[in-house]
Amino acid sequence: MYMNKFQIILSLAVMSVLCSFILQPKPWDVPDEFKMMKNPVKKTDKVMVEGKMRYNQACAGCHGLKGKGDGEKVKNLANIKPAILLADNVSKGTDGEYFYKIKYGRGQNHSFSGKLDDEAIWSVIYYMKTFANK
C-alpha cells in the first residue's frame, strides 16, 4: 500500500506531536519537606567562590559555564536537554527544591549525594542564582 504526500505529511505531523509529549520532561516530584527549606549557609564571598568551583566541576559539563544548558557533555545525552539555569528559570523554584534536585537527582540528572556535601550544594545554589538572563 502506497501513501500519498498528504498521508505522509499527516503521519509525520502526528508522530512529531506524539514525540514532543513523550520527550517532555516530567515535573519533579519534590517532597514537601524540601519545598520550603531555606538555604542555611550564610552567603559570603568564600561561599560564592566555593559555589562557582563546585558548579564548574559538577554541573557545567551539562548545564554550561553560564547555565545555558550548552555544556560539552550535552551531545552525549540521549533525548535530554539540561535545564537552563538563567535567573528567570531558577527563580521559579525554591532553594529547597534545587537542593533536593541536586542532592537526589533523577534519570540522567545525577545524584550528588555522597559527591557534594550539603554545604557545597547550598553554595552551588547561590552561584546558580548569579546567571543573567541573556
| Per-residue pLDDT tens listing for the chain (134 residues) | 556 665 555 454 445 444 444 444 578 889 999 999 999 999 999 999 999 999 999 999 999 999 999 999 888 877 778 888 987 888 888 999 999 999 999 877 889 999 999 999 999 999 999 998 76
pTM metric for this prediction: 0.77
pLDDT confidence of residue 94: 93
pLDDT confidence of residue 13: 46
pLDDT confidence of residue 9: 57
Q: Write the secondary structure of the chain as one string of H (helix), E (strand) and C (coil).
A: CCCCHHHHHHHHHHHHHHHHHHHCCCCCCCCHHHHCCCCCCCCCHHHHHHHHHHHHHHCHHHHCCCCCCCCCCHHHCCCCCCCCCCHHHHCCCCHHHHHHHHHHCECCECCCECCECHHHHHHHHHHHCCCCCC
Q: Which domains does the chain have, with CATH numbers?
A: 30-128 (1.10.760.10)
pLDDT confidence of residue 49: 97
